[in-house]
């Protein structure tokens, strides 16, 4: 936390406090976007993904309760959380390209359209979930070989 405050202090000293506020168009100010991002994250996004995580954990417990035999030695929750996190961060990073925001500027700068962004994000999401499923299957397989008698 101290490092983040030090980084913010350094950025403010480099930018100068006057550069944080746009006098001509207030909503284009760095300060407005920073405060908006803080409010949006803390008041809207954090409760949403905390609720989604609680729902995932509760749902997985409910599914596990249907088969009360052997307890799972390898919890599945982190094999769902990590690909969701990676996919969500990639979505946020490439959101302007996915919704084709600034298509004319992108076309002028690169000579390409933004149409492949959505398909590539979906493909990357499928690959990340697939890799996570393979990792989970590998862990379950290792856990079962450890349980076999005579080993």
pLDDT, tens only, 49-71 = 899 999 998 988 888 777 766 66
Q: What pLDDT is recorded for position 87?
A: 96
Spatial separation of the C-alpha atoms in residues 121 and 95, rounded to whole Å? 10
Q: What is each CA distance from 40 to 48, 52, 53, 90, in whole angstroms?
A: 11, 17, 18, 18
Q: What is the pTM of this model?
A: 0.69
Range name among 77-81, 120-124, 141-145 with the lowest pLDDT average: 141-145
Backbone angle region of 16, left / alpha / beta, with phi > 0 → left and psi within -120 to 50 → alpha: left
Between the alpha carbon of residue 50 and those of residues 47, 53, 75, 85, the distances in Å are 5, 5, 19, 12
> Of 145 and 117, which is predicted with more confidence?
117
Q: What is the pLDDT of residues 67-117, one digit of tens each?
A: 766 666 788 889 999 999 999 999 999 998 999 888 899 999 999 999 999
Tell me the helices (H) and strands (E) count for the chain, helix number first. 6, 0
Average pLDDT, the chain: 88
Residue with tokens 């946020």: 92
Between these two residues, 134 and 9, which has the higher pLDDT value? 134
Q: What is the pLDDT of residue 60?
A: 85
For residues 37 and 79, what is the distance between their CA atoms, to the nearest angstrom?
28
In this predicted structure, the answer to whether residue 2 has a pLDDT above a threshold of 70 is: yes
Q: Quick one: tokens of 137?
A: 């299957």
What percent of the chain lies above the pLDDT cut of 90?
Answer: 52
| pLDDT of 72 | 66
What is the C-alpha to C-alpha distance for residues 55 and 57, in angstroms, rounded to an integer?
6
């Amino acid at each position: 936390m101290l490092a983040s405050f030090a980084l913010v202090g350094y950025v403010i000293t480099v930018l100068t406090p006057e550069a944080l506020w746009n006098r001509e168009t207030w909503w284009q100010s760095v300060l407005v976007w920073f405060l908006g991002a803080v409010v949006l994250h803390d008041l809207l996004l954090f409760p949403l993904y905390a609720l989604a995580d609680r729902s995932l954990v509760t749902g997985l417990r409910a599914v596990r309760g249907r088969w009360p035999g052997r307890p799972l030695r390898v919890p599945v929750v982190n094999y769902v959380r990590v690909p969701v996190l990676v996919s969500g961060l990639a979505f946020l990073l490439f959101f302007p390209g996915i919704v084709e925001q600034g298509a004319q500027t992108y076309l002028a700068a690169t000579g390409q359209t933004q149409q492949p962004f959505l398909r590539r994000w979906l493909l990357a999401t499928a690959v990340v979930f697939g890799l996570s499923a393979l990792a989970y299957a590998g862990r379950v397989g290792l856990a079962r070989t450890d349980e076999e008698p005579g080993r």
